[in-house]
């Protein structure tokens, strides 16, 4: 072999000598200058992919992803068991998290970190009391008031409470006991609500100083013993949709008065009930299409966290199922979370148990792109 | 003997937590979410673990290193058996969570239901081995006494979650 190579080289040299023009070498590669990439302007097809980093839980992060160009734009670090929220004006991302002075031990510090979504640079830190709820991601671990004056943080020690952070002052200003009710669901200009074991909704009004001015407890709207609702409610405008373990949809509407509860409607037929069940960390609603997306599986009592083998699609105006999309579990894994962009030309995201992210056409279910393994354990998706 | 040791441990841990916690809602949450052996007779017994009896008979249920071990019927996390501990003991250098939640698992090997305490072992970062997520009788976090999503290391001096155990507290009376 070596002899053949030498021979071929000699032939080439011979040809050149015989008069063939020698190709000019290409110009050198231009000098590079190290710089920091500038983010493009945010659009509705950005996705904030929440990686819980389950195998190294002090190292959660949120990947910022562009679903138009199928590329990662950057990262927001998120620490330990974080809560996450995008501000109502979309300009900021908020992370409530916990650090220790020596990595995994030492002095504990709970902090609220605010990141500028135009640069992904952290611009502000507010120290929190060390009682933050450490749980799975939901839309209600932390939440902004609609005018962004306050940010609410769910606490659990295991006594349940909430911390009110005044973003103008840059400091926590109130600690409000929630009587065992959990999470912080924004429900008015100066109101936040929590889910209670009694199947009721506790709503707390706060004043301009962030302190409680009044509270009210709704009538029971679900039954935790018969059919509990997932805490992963879907907030859209002034409504939140909750899915129950057996597959009923509970819609709560917030207004000036007390919350209004629509009559629940079923995702399953009588024959399917108890067999086909919802199961996921996240469900999705697309307001322009009036479509609800729910990962479903054939299950039993206790299977409510099993990944979906199918995504079922519902018309939320007519309360009917309009599609069943079978997921290739062997190829992608079962679906553990779905999210939809909120624009008129939307993208549907489906996160699988393999931490793959599928980008789908929310009208047809066609897969447009697959990110096969994102980070460690992506469990939730936020969209601006 | 084992029960007595657990009793003392729970009681001490619960008292210690109570002394560190003076919040108004503590008693309400604690009474449901925990706890000490003295409180055990007051706890409702979740018999939904009976669903395990419907699993295929070929399932073994008796390997503490496997997620289908009968005691793990509602465990959510890394099995301490794979992390240097056992199904009922924390790995060296970690600290048991003083608070937890209590469920019922059916043992198909002897036909009995057992009350089990799902404790987390704390103080080191996540073990990362043998992740297991079973949820028989598990409820969302608004029913904290039946929830396995929250970090039950939350009240430890070092609340880093490492792994989970399932400790038999006794036979569940029918």
- CB contact at 8 A, B143 and B120: no
Give the residue with greater pLDDT, A23 vs B35.
A23
Cα A201 to Cα A191: distance, rounded to the nearest angstrom:
12
Give the chain B residue nearest A281 (alpha carbons): B149
Q: Flag whether pLDDT at B27 surpasses 50.
A: no
Cα A205 to Cα A163: distance, rounded to the nearest angstrom:
13
Q: What is the pTM of this model?
A: 0.86
Q: How far is A160 from chain B (nearest CA, A)?
A: 7
Reply yes or no on whether B9 is catalytic: no
Q: How far is B162 from chain A (nearest CA, A)?
A: 9
Identify all chain B residues contacting A161, using CB atoms and an 8 Å cutoff. 23, 25
Q: Which of B134, B149, B160 sits opposite A135 (nearest CB)?
A: B149
Cα A355 to Cα A377: distance, rounded to the nearest angstrom:
5
- Mean pLDDT, rounded, for B13-21: 33
**B positions 73-132 inside 8 Å of A (CB):** 73-74, 76, 99, 123-126, 128, 131
**At how many degrees (to 10) do helices B26-33 and B2-20 cross?**
160
Contacts with A356 (C-beta within 8 Å, 6 or more apart), sequence order: A332, A333, A370, A371, A372, A373, A374
According to DSSP, the residues that pair with B164 across neighbouring strands are: B79, B120
**B positions 50-79 inside 8 Å of A (CB):** 51, 54, 73-74, 76
- The single residue of B70, B113, B120, B152 carrying the catalytic annotation is B120
> Residues for chain B: how many in total?
174
Alpha-carbon dihedral of residues B61, B67, B72, B76, nearest 10 degrees? -170
According to DSSP, the residues that pair with B96 across neighbouring strands are: B121
State the DSSP code for A218.
P
Give the residue with greater pLDDT, A131 vs B53.
A131
Cα B6 to Cα B166: distance, rounded to the nearest angstrom:
13
Q: Which of A187-201, B32-46, B157-171 has the lowest mean pLDDT?
A: B32-46
Reading the block at residue A214, the tokens are 């009044």
Q: Which of B142, B153, B160 sits opposite A58 (nearest CB)?
A: B160
For residue B101, the model assigns a pLDDT of 85
- CB contact at 8 A, A124 and A166: no
Domains of chain A in start order, with CATH, are 80-220 (2.130.10.10), 223-384 (2.130.10.10)
Hey, are the CB atoms on B150 and A133 less than 8 Å from each other? yes
Does residue B47 sit at the A interface (CB-CB below 8 Å)?
no
For residue A23, the model assigns a pLDDT of 87
Identify all chain A residues contacting B150, using CB atoms and an 8 Å cutoff. 133-135, 156, 158
- What are the 10-residue block averages of pLDDT along chain A, 384 residues in total? 45 48 88 95 98 94 98 98 98 98 96 98 98 95 98 98 98 98 98 98 98 98 98 98 98 96 98 97 98 98 97 98 97 98 98 98 98 97 98
- The single residue of B46, B76, B101, B113 carrying the catalytic annotation is B101
For residue B88, the model assigns a pLDDT of 97
- CB contact at 8 A, A111 and A127: yes
Q: Flag whether pLDDT at B47 surpasses 70.
A: no
- The count of CB pairs under 8 A between chains A and B is 130
Hey, are the CB atoms on B139 and A224 less than 8 Å from each other? yes
For residue B59, the model assigns a pLDDT of 52
- Nearest to B101, CA basis, from B25, B166, B158: B166
For residue B61, the model assigns a pLDDT of 81
- Structure ipTM: 0.91
CA-to-CA dists, residue B84 to A246, B33, B80, B88, B123, angstroms: 38, 27, 6, 11, 14
Disruptive mutation site among A158, A282, A302, A377 for chain B (greatest number of B CBs within 10 Å): A158
Interface residues of A toward B, Cβ cutoff 8 Å, are 54-58, 80-81, 98, 100, 104-105, 108, 133-136, 156-161, 177-183, 195-197, 224, 228-231, 300-305
Hey, are the CB atoms on A224 and B143 less than 8 Å from each other? yes
Reply yes or no on whether B152 is catalytic: no
Q: Which of B123, B154, B161 sits opposite A158 (nearest CB)?
A: B154
For residue B173, the model assigns a pLDDT of 77
Q: Work out the mean pLDDT of chain B and round it to a whole number.
A: 75
Q: How far is B100 from chain A (nearest CA, A)?
A: 10
């Amino acid at each position: 072999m070596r002899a053949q190579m030498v021979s071929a080289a000699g032939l080439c040299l011979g040809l050149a000598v015989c008069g063939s023009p020698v190709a000019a070498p290409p110009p050198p590669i231009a000098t590079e200058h190290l710089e920091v990439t500038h983010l493009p302007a945010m659009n509705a097809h950005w996705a904030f992919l929440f990686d819980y980093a389950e195998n190294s839980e002090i190292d959660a992060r949120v990947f910022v992803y562009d679903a138009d160009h199928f590329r990662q734009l950057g990262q927001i670090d998120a620490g330990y068991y974080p809560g996450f929220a995008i501000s109502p004006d979309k300009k900021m991302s908020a992370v409530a998290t916990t650090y220790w002075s020596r990595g995994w031990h030492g002095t504990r510090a709970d902090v609220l970190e605010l990141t500028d979504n135009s640069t992904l640079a952290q611009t502000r830190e507010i120290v929190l009391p060390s009682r933050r709820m450490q749980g799975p991601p939901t839309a209600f671990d932390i939440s902004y008031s609609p005018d962004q004056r306050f940010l609410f943080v769910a606490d659990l020690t295991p006594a349940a409470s909430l911390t009110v952070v005044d973003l103008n002052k840059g400091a926590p200003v109130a600690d409000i006991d929630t009587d065992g009710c959990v999470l912080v669901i924004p429900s008015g200009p100066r109101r936040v609500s929590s889910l209670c074991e009694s199947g009721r909704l506790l709503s707390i009004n706060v004043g301009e100083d962030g302190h409680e001015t009044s509270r009210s407890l709704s009538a029971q709207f679900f039954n935790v013993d018969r059919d509990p609702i997932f805490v992963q409610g879907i907030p859209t405008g002034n409504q939140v949709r909750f899915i129950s373990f057996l597959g009923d949809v509970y819609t709560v509407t917030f207004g000036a008065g007390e919350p209004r509860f629509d009559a629940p409607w079923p995702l399953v037929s009588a024959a399917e009930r108890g067999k086909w069940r919802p199961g996921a960390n996240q469900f999705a609603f697309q307001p322009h299409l009036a479509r609800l997306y729910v990962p479903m599986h054939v299950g039993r009592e206790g299977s409510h966290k099993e990944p979906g083998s199918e995504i079922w699609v519902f018309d939320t105006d007519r309360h009917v199922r309009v599609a069943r999309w079978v997921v290739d579990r062997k190829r992608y894994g079962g679906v553990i979370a779905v999210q939809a962009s909120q624009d008129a030309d939307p993208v549907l995201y489906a996160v699988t148990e393999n931490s793959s992210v599928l980008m789908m056409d929310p009208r047809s279910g066609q897969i447009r792109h697959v990110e096969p393994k994102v980070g460690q354990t992506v469990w939730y998706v936020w969209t601006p | 003997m084992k029960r007595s040791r657990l009793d003392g441990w729970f009681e001490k841990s619960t008292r210690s937590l109570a002394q560190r916690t003076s919040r108004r809602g503590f008693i309400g949450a604690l009474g449901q979410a925990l706890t000490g052996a003295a409180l055990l007779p007051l706890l409702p017994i979740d018999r939904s673990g009976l669903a395990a009896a419907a699993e295929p008979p070929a399932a073994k249920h008796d390997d503490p290193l496997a997620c289908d071990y009968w005691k793990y019927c509602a465990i959510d996390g890394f099995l301490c058996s794979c992390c240097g501990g056992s199904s009922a003991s924390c790995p060296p250098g970690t600290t048991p969570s003083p608070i937890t939640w209590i469920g019922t698992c059916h043992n198909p090997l002897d036909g009995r239901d057992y009350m089990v305490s799902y404790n987390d072992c704390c103080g080191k970062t996540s073990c990362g081995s043998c992740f297991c997520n079973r949820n028989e009788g598990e409820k969302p976090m608004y029913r904290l006494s039946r929830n396995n999503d929250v970090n039950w290391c939350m009240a430890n001096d070092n609340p880093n979650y490492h792994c989970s155990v399932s400790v038999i507290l006794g036979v569940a009376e029918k």
